[in-house]
Structure 1
Amino acid sequence: MRFGVLGAVAAWRTDGTQVTVGGPRSRMLLALLALEAGRFVPAERLIDGMYGEHPPDGAANALQSQVSRLRTALKELAPVEFTAAGYRLAAPPDEVDVHCFERLAREGRTLLKNGEHARAAAVLGEALALWRGPAFSDLADAPFAEAQAARLAELRADAADDHVEARLPLGQAEDLLAVLRETVAAHRLRERPRAQLVRALAAAGRPADALAAFEDARRTLADELGADPGPELAEAHLAVLRGETEKPVLPALPAQLTSFVGRGDELRQVAGLLDRSRLVTLTGPGGTGKTRLAVEVAAAQTGPVAFVELAPHGGAGVAQAVLSALGLRESSRGGPQDPAERLIAALRERATLLVLDNCEHVVDVAARLVARLLAACPGLRVLATSREPLGITGEQLAPVPRLAVPPPGTPAGPAREFA
């Protein structure tokens, strides 16, 4: 980053040391050019931005003098170019903090909308870290500054809200409480952070505090705006009353390091069974490729998929293993306490494929949990792998035989028949 306006207007050398730009007029000029980095800005716009609606006589000559001073100050960083179209700071937009911030904020919001919460949180955190204080903090009286600073402050607030939204499903509710309270205190009439505070308190196991936060929001909106809570805040309140938890973050499927060959028929068969049945179990002895087939079937699905590895867990830990895989933290107070009830609350309204891998050593517990979830969550489907069936009503079995392999010394051509 070489130029900054998210805070005091500044310029930095490649080694991080700050360049002395000059007095207020020089910093105004740099800020106006940085806002349009790489594009020509007409002289008239620069004069309006520096002097307002009533520029002094000789403002054009004064602008030329300021450009000359700025060129001298920035000679190590970037030239200030002139054509008939105006003046330009010859620097890529990504070398100016405000443009980098706006790009990252857009990327983070897109990731959030796509359900990629962890990546969204990282990108939005990077965007917010670019701020060093209020925009143009050393130029508060500049004619252009008020409107631009207000616009950027609103974008910053939206990005901060998105950052919280990305982190909430990642099990970070407790960590977010302090920042949410600060945000609510600073922006009393913004409903989104108030709704997020209600949700975070509920997710942290503090439903009474969540209800109190909602009541404070309702009273504030009524007293100061004469308005009722909007849909997002009302929904957060209703979720607390129902004891609902945060929606889970569905984990990524395990990455595969080799190509998938020789199972085309089984892949189509299992996909067809899943279209017709809500529970399909891949059965067979160890080493036949049940897990790999389940991953490939799941990867071909169009809706949300959650993968849970049960091999490291005993029977008592099956439900908690599913909760952990979904990013749902252990609940200590408030809301459903039974892990299965928490899973039902999280999955009841989601059309999800749940992949339970290696059920054989916990088959009875896994079967009871699956039966309970399928009965309560109409949009849920389960794809299990096990050396034996789960044995519950509606289960469709898909035996997975070992792949045939060519005998040693088989030429390449005939060997392809085994793939």
Structure 2
Amino acid sequence: MHYDIVVVGGGAGGLELAARLGRKLGRRDGPSSVLLIDRSVFHIWKPTLHEVAAGTLDAHQEGLSYMILARRNHFSYSPGEIIGLDPQAKRITLGEMRDETGHQVVPERTISYTHAVLALGSGSNFFGTPGAAEHAYVLERASDAERFQRHLLAAFTRAAFAEHRSLGIAIVGAGATGVELSAELLEAHALLQEGFRADQRFRLDITLVEAAPRILAGLPEKISAQAQLALERKNVRVLTATPVTEVRADALVTAQGEIAADLIVWAAGIKAADANTRLGLSVNRANQFVVDDHLRTGAPDLYALGDCAACPWGEKLVPARAQAAHQQASYLAKVLLARRRERSHDAPFVYRDFGSLVSLGENRGVGSLMGGLGGPNFFVEGLIAKWMYMSLHLNHHRAILGTGNTLVLALARLLQRRVSGRLKLH
């Protein structure tokens, strides 16, 4: 089947792009105008996966069905994963999909396009560390977060009845994911302890291991220092300048010695999928598609955005952040709408860094707003930073649901949390 615009990948950027284009084109030109492809059937905003992993966010309540989003925003949706690309013929091959029993659900198929956008996201970078892939949990997709949450709940229960009454968790990588997961696990533990008898309460020992000299190395030093102080006050053991040389089932091996752990999470670095190298496009060492300042790959009418795109930003690359994907989706929507109207859009993509916010628990956060209220960097912390962090999530929902539906959804979830509690014991 042929589609005018095909978006491969329904993450933050890909879904927002499909929704914008669908609302502009789909209502007028029909379902063959815009197609969104994703291997999952529902969408979760990736920056919230640490909450799903800790059990403080219900993935099935938070997740939004791609089929329903497609109907609301007038685009088409198809489940699938790209396994082949013919850039010259403008054809995409999607692999077959099977259920848990091995039976085929969706056959392999080929889709042609006029314009296409690759928004395939990224995964974990193990940097060749022995044992990391075998023994460490990752938080790349909702299924990863749910898997960790199930094992975490079992580990909590074991610790409550164990003789030593303790649970050790090691997190490799102190970027935003590692730091936020540490804080969220502490929240989950505190909430769970309230429901246990005094003789069932246990100690949670979290060790955050970072190879760089400081945590949150990509953010201003002030944020890094504030975040580390907040974690250490909550008894998180923070180890910087400590590269991990091996991951075992029950321990991390470092140059400073072994770190025992019941559960290990790998949150150190990101890397685009190895499969990207087999699509016939130019990629960099991190398997990202090389694009120009118009987000164009080397193939005609084929673009890339988000974590899978190596987009120039001065002497650096645009960072792999949700705000970058959001800005690129807005830019490409204008480009593709202009192309549909046979108009030119010569302005290049210009990334604007609006700063970063990090969640440190239910009512804590730190961050900086670039070029904001207080000069070049406006620092925020505490409840204000947390509210601003939450507003980013709501802004993503507004882009795909509209303002009215987002307000209704936010109110419904607030009421649900009041009734059922914050910790989800699935």
Q: When the two structures are superposed, what TM-score results if normalisation uses the length of structure 1?
A: 0.22
Larger Rg: 1
Structure number with the higher strand fraction is 2
Q: When the two structures are superposed, what TM-score results if normalisation uses the length of structure 2?
A: 0.22
Structure number with the higher helix fraction is 1
